[in-house]
Structure 1
Amino acid sequence: MSSLSTTRRSAVAIPALAAVLALSACSPAAEAPSAGTLNVVTTTTQLADFAHQIGGDDISLTSLLAAGASAHHFDPSPKELVALSQADVLIVNGAELEGFIDSAIEASGFAGELVTAADGIDLAEAKEITAEGEHEVEAGGGEAAEHEHDHADHDHAEHGSGGHDHAADEAAGHEHAEDASAGHDDHAEHDHDHGDVNPHLWTSPRYASAMAGEVARGLAKADPEHAADYRERASAYEAELAELDAWVGAQFERVPAAERVLVSGHDSLRYYLHDYGIAYAGAIMPSFEDNAEPSAAELDALTAKITERGVRAIFVESSMSPKLAQTIAREAGITVVDSEALYADSLGPAGSGAETYVAATVHNTQVILEAWGHTPDAVPQGLGAAS
């Protein structure tokens, strides 16, 4: 497994966390894992949904992050550390998203199977897409059609995994990251270069499919007794994600390229924009993170670019305050979409209609299209509903 970056590690000291963990383990708030099921902990809400779709009733699931929370500025609570200490499997995003996780693993004493969902993706390709988007912003963009994604010819399974043939891997008995069977101590042997990769990999349904495949392999390895069930559910879920990808692509293909220009709260939708031929004009927060501080000069430059590119709306992610976006929108004379926020860093809470990854992606697509003055097609049966 890949080692996780400590460049944005939580400032909480390891000894202090360990002491809190010891006290919390004796408190009524520390809940024991369900007997007879694989005890799985995930970091993000998206990963929790992937694990739920694939694990079904064979796992007991805990998400460290709640709906609306962001991994960019998260510190685990004592209860969350206790859950981690009791986990058989920990599923993380990787790609330097979870700056808190190394500290949490060490403090909790977690020694189970570590599954890094980003390992299912071709991170070299993701790095190229990240750099491509940054160049687009610096150069003032270009026609969105240059990045048109041909869904009619797209081989979802092949490209979603970055070119890996996972069926062949399984047939050959391939064990992805064999060191995980001994815990997380040997990650360094499989270190990947995650530098300069936007960590919001899941925003592309084809990348989400590859991440879900990695989750399925991790669960199957940790629980061989139910491996066939995990693979069967994963196959069905990946088919659903392929249908989602095709539907989203069809919606944006009807929008003229010149109108497909987006500004968001922070740089959270890079892979989604790339896959569907949407030009990226920039973000309010000049970072992958949603808690960065833009300078006055950066805000002025973004306002000028909004006017230059004919941007029709600013979209705010659910994990962010809309105040800066509202100010910029007033100055630029455009709409800010904040009452129906985009779900990027987190899925939505119960009742939001965005409780699952599929539903959140459908929601985001509908909100963007409607703000651009286009009516999306009816959602195919089975897509968009929380499950």
Structure 2
Amino acid sequence: MTYFAKFACSLILILCSLARANADNYQPSPLNVVTSFSILADLAKELGGDNVKITNLVGANSDGHLYQPRPSDVVAVSAADLLIFNGLNFEGWMSRLIQSSGFDGAAIEASAGVRKMYHGDEVDPHAWQSLQNIKIYAKNINKALIEALPNRKADLDNRYQAFIEQVDALIARSQRSFADIPIQNRIVITNHDAFGYLGRDLKVAFIAPVGISTDEEPSAADLAALIQQIKTKNVKALFLENISNKRLLQQISAEAGVSVGGTLYSDALSEREGPASTYLKMMNYNLRTLSGALK
């Protein structure tokens, strides 16, 4: 073999090695993910990590029931690779937003497959308040991310398993903390009916003057009946919500003679510096606050 041939072979081997190294180290551009509200934004970031770039629509401490999409939301959705929304009629504005944006990418209903609860004839959309349900949310999001980023499957699966382990640990802690609270004492008053799924998991009765949507208004008769129920059942736990108007529950508190025990996080996370800046922190905070008040 001539010197030139040997040099050419060596050069080819070097180039092949560099190509393999580049392939091994190749990082795809982050997937452009749009989420409908803050809880889903946190789940998508937790499960996607650096593989995703999140644009969220309804922010911290904001009410998804009453949200009105902005022109910037139309632009964001139109550019999305993946759209994640809750479903169960929570985002009544979502279909109009998709239509006006011309979005034709992948979209998932994060709540698909949960065991639904109903408030009269309406489905209760607050399924994320169940730790058992959130494992279904995580499975749906993990599947969608892997379909969009198949070469990142190992990392995405690792993140999914780590999240599920944290959820299971929180479920175990919650069961221990509520174990010694008598069933008859597990009655809580909140602004609107957002905690039904949590109540089902923990056998806690959540009662609210407003139904599953914050755009409802209770009648005077409804309020009178609720105040009478609070007095009759000797209810001790009244809680504000981070997204709701405080005046209604403060009125109930004054008329029923029961003090407000604090704030629960229902339809949105807190700001970053708050106690509920991630989904797991939110649930941990709510569970500790509830169990402490009921004990």
TM range (shorter): 0.7 to 0.9
- Indicate whether 1:291 and 2:215 are aligned: yes
Residue 208 of structure 2 aligns with an amino acid whose one-letter code is A
1:126 and 1:249 mapped to 2: Cα distance?
22
1:227 and 1:112 mapped to 2: Cα distance?
20
2:249 and 2:293 mapped to 1: Cα distance?
15
Secondary structure of 2:287's counterpart equals helix
1:359 and 1:302 mapped to 2: Cα distance?
31
Select the residue among 110, 117, 120 that pairs with 1:117: 110
Question: Displacement, 1:72?
Answer: 0.5
Question: Displacement, 1:116?
Answer: 0.8
1:370 and 1:323 mapped to 2: Cα distance?
24
- Indicate whether 1:106 and 2:68 are aligned: no
- Indicate whether 1:67 and 2:60 are aligned: yes
Task: Note the alpha carbon deviations across 1:80-108, whole angstroms, 9 max, x for none.
Answer: 22111110000010111110000100111
| Partner in structure 2 of residue 221 of structure 1 | 147
1:227 and 1:289 mapped to 2: Cα distance?
38
Alignment TM-score, normalising by the size of structure 2: 0.87
Question: Displacement, 1:353?
Answer: 1.7
8 Å contact kept, 1:92–1:115: yes
1:313 and 1:247 mapped to 2: Cα distance?
21
Secondary structure of 2:111's counterpart equals helix
| Partner in structure 1 of residue 174 of structure 2 | 248
Secondary structure of 1:248's counterpart equals helix
- Indicate whether 1:78 and 2:71 are aligned: yes
Ranges of 4+ aligned residues in structure 1 off by more than 4 Å:
none
Secondary structure of 1:219's counterpart equals helix
| Partner in structure 2 of residue 364 of structure 1 | 286
Gaps of 5+ in 2: 1-27
Secondary structure of 2:260's counterpart equals strand
Secondary structure of 2:83's counterpart equals strand
Select the residue among 96, 108, 116 that pairs with 1:126: 116
Task: Note the alpha carbon deviations across 1:153-172, whole angstroms, 9 max, x for none.
Answer: xxxxxxxxxxxxxxxxxxxx
Question: Displacement, 1:246?
Answer: 1.2
Secondary structure of 1:266's counterpart equals coil
Residue 190 of structure 2 aligns with an amino acid whose one-letter code is S
Question: Displacement, 1:227?
Answer: 2.3
Who wins on radius of gyration, i.e. which is larger?
2
Select the residue among 155, 160, 164 that pairs with 1:234: 160
| Partner in structure 2 of residue 267 of structure 1 | 193
Question: Displacement, 1:370?
Answer: 2.6
Task: Note the alpha carbon deviations across 1:326-382, whole angstroms, 9 max, x for none.
Answer: 111111110113xx411110011111121001101111112222323x3xxxxxxxx
* Percent of residue pairs identical: 33
8 Å contact kept, 1:317–1:342: yes
How many residue pairs get aligned? The number is 268
Moved more, 224-233 or 292-301: 224-233
- 1:279-318 matches, within 5 Å, as 279-280=205-206, 282-285=207-210, 287-318=211-242
Secondary structure of 1:361's counterpart equals helix
- Indicate whether 1:353 and 2:279 are aligned: no
1:263 and 1:301 mapped to 2: Cα distance?
13
Secondary structure of 1:326's counterpart equals helix
2:290 and 2:166 mapped to 1: Cα distance?
21
Secondary structure of 1:348's counterpart equals coil
1:298 and 1:200 mapped to 2: Cα distance?
22
1:229 and 1:120 mapped to 2: Cα distance?
24
Residue 344 of structure 1 aligns with an amino acid whose one-letter code is S
Alignment TM-score, normalising by the size of structure 1: 0.67
8 Å contact kept, 2:64–2:91: yes
Question: Displacement, 1:266?
Answer: 0.5
| Partner in structure 2 of residue 343 of structure 1 | 265
Secondary structure of 1:262's counterpart equals strand
2:160 and 2:212 mapped to 1: Cα distance?
29
Select the residue among 59, 68, 89 that pairs with 2:82: 89
Pairwise CA RMSD? 1.4
Residue 333 of structure 1 aligns with an amino acid whose one-letter code is G
Task: Note the alpha carbon deviations across 1:290-309, whole angstroms, 9 max, x for none.
Answer: 12111000000100111111
Gaps of 5+ in 1: 1-34, 135-194, 375-387
Secondary structure of 1:42's counterpart equals strand
1:102 and 1:225 mapped to 2: Cα distance?
31
| Partner in structure 1 of residue 44 of structure 2 | 51
Question: Displacement, 1:313?
Answer: 2.2
8 Å contact kept, 2:270–2:276: yes
Task: Note the alpha carbon deviations across 1:45-70, whole angstroms, 9 max, x for none.
Answer: 11111101110000001111100111
1:45 and 1:253 mapped to 2: Cα distance?
31
1:288 and 1:248 mapped to 2: Cα distance?
24
Question: Displacement, 1:220?
Answer: 0.9
- 1:131-142 matches, within 5 Å, as none
Residue 199 of structure 2 aligns with an amino acid whose one-letter code is L
